């Protein structure tokens, strides 16, 4: 079956511009997660959704970052007024229910480059 | 804080040998640990989950151990092959088990 998909696969933008990253989770998965992976760094948790609600937004680096999920499916991560330090690979993952018991299935990621 | 520590240096081994990767955690023992594989340009792929009350778990050529005294998990790949070359990530639940913290990963290179 179809896995987690993300778009675009690559995004190059200029400093100060806004970007939107999209994630399509596996159908039926209620939990969805966003991570950021910088070169040589581990996965940095950003936010997770249980259904359409985001109980934990503590990982978002600043108020320039926001995310939403609609219909319990597609999620969008928005970065406003991008900065060079936002350059990274943004990974999305989904799981059947909640993190405590379920395996996460990752998408291929979106590589964001801020010039 | 609940941290996961992995040796960020690359591990090079000869084909056919057993590769052993280490994951150390801090604070209290988690209910489980997970191991993922990540290839360049790809998202991590789940390999194994070992629970706190399981000392060892196997899947084909993979073996994972969980030592709550040492606060450590070991990940073994027996009869290693060049196709096993990848970065391997260890992860533990945190934040009331509502999210997962990943280690930085260990890059394994199996030399033919």
CATH number at residue A62: 2.60.40.10
Rounded Cα distance between A58 and B48, Å, is 27
Q: Each residue's pLDDT tens digit in chain A (115 positions)? A: 589 999 999 999 999 999 999 999 999 899 899 999 988 778 998 998 988 988 878 889 999 999 999 988 999 999 999 999 999 999 999 988 765 557 889 999 999 999 9
B97: left (phi over 0), alpha (psi -120 to 50) or beta: left
A100–B contact, CB cutoff 8 A: yes
Residue A86 is predicted with a pLDDT of 96
pLDDT at B94 over 90: no
* Residue A55 resides in a domain: yes
Q: Which residue of chain A comes nearest to B96, CA vs CA?
A: A100
A61–B contact, CB cutoff 8 A: no
For chain B, domain boundaries = 29-95
Q: Cβ contacts (< 8 Å) between A4 and chain B: which residues?
A: 43
Q: Which residue of chain A comes nearest to B47, CA vs CA?
A: A103
* Residue A111 resides in a domain: no
Chain A closest CA to B44's CA: distance in Å?
6
CB-based contact A104:A33 (threshold 8 Å): yes
Rounded Cα distance between A92 and A80, Å, is 19
Provide the sign of the torsion angle of the four alpha carbons B59, B36, B96, B5, taken in this order: positive
* Residue A74 resides in a domain: yes
* Residue A113 resides in a domain: no
Residue B96 is predicted with a pLDDT of 64
**Through-space distance between the first and last CA atoms of chain B, rounded to whole angstroms:** 40
Residue B45 is predicted with a pLDDT of 95
Residue B28 is predicted with a pLDDT of 83
CB-based contact A95:A29 (threshold 8 Å): yes
In whole numbers, what is the pLDDT of chain B averaged over residues? 91
Q: Give the β-pairing of A110-114 and A88-95.
A: antiparallel
B45, B93, B101 ranked by CB distance to A100: nearest: B93
Count of domains for chain A: 1
Element (H, E) at B8: none
* Residue A53 resides in a domain: yes
* Residue A58 resides in a domain: yes
By residue range, what is the domain housing residue A90?
A: 5-97
Q: Which of B112, B111, B103 is nearest to B37 (CA)?
A: B103
Residue A99 is predicted with a pLDDT of 56
Residue B98 is predicted with a pLDDT of 65
CATH architecture of B29-95: Sandwich (2.60)
Bridge partners (DSSP) listed for residue B18: none
When scoring B9, B37, B99, B104 by the number of chain A Cβ atoms within 10 A, the one with the most, hence best to mutate, is B99
What percent of chain B lies above the pLDDT cut of 70?
A: 95
> pLDDT tens digits, residue range B16-60?
999 999 999 988 888 889 999 999 989 999 999 999 889 899 999
Residue B101 is predicted with a pLDDT of 86
Q: Cβ contacts (< 8 Å) between A57 and chain B: which residues?
A: none
CB-based contact A32:A49 (threshold 8 Å): yes
* Residue A24 resides in a domain: yes
* Residue A102 resides in a domain: no
Residue A16 is predicted with a pLDDT of 97
């Amino acid at each position: 079956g179809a896995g987690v998909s993300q778009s675009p696969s690559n995004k190059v933008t200029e400093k100060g511009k806004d970007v939107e990253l999209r994630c399509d989770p596996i159908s039926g998965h209620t939990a969805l997660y966003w991570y950021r992976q910088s070169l040589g760094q581990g996965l940095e948790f950003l936010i997770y959704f249980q259904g359409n609600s985001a109980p934990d937004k503590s990982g978002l680096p600043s108020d320039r970052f926001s995310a939403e999920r609609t219909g319990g499916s597609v999620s969008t991560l928005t970065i406003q007024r991008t900065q060079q330090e936002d350059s990274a690979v943004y990974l999305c993952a989904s799981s059947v229910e909640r993190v405590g018991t379920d395996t996460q299935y990752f998408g291929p990621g979106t590589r964001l480059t801020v010039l | 804080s609940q941290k996961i520590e992995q040796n960020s240096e690359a591990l090079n081994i000869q084909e056919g040998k057993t590769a052993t990767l280490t994951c150390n955690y801090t604070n209290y023992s988690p209910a489980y640990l997970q191991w993922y594989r990540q290839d360049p340009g790809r998202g991590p792929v789940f390999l194994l989950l070992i629970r706190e009350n399981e000392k060892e778990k196997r899947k084909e050529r993979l073996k994972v151990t969980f030592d709550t005294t040492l606060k450590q998990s070991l990940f073994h790949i027996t009869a290693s092959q060049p196709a096993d070359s990848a970065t391997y990530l260890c992860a533990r639940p945190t934040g009331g088990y509502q999210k997962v913290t990943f280690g930085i990963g260990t890059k394994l290179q199996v030399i033919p």
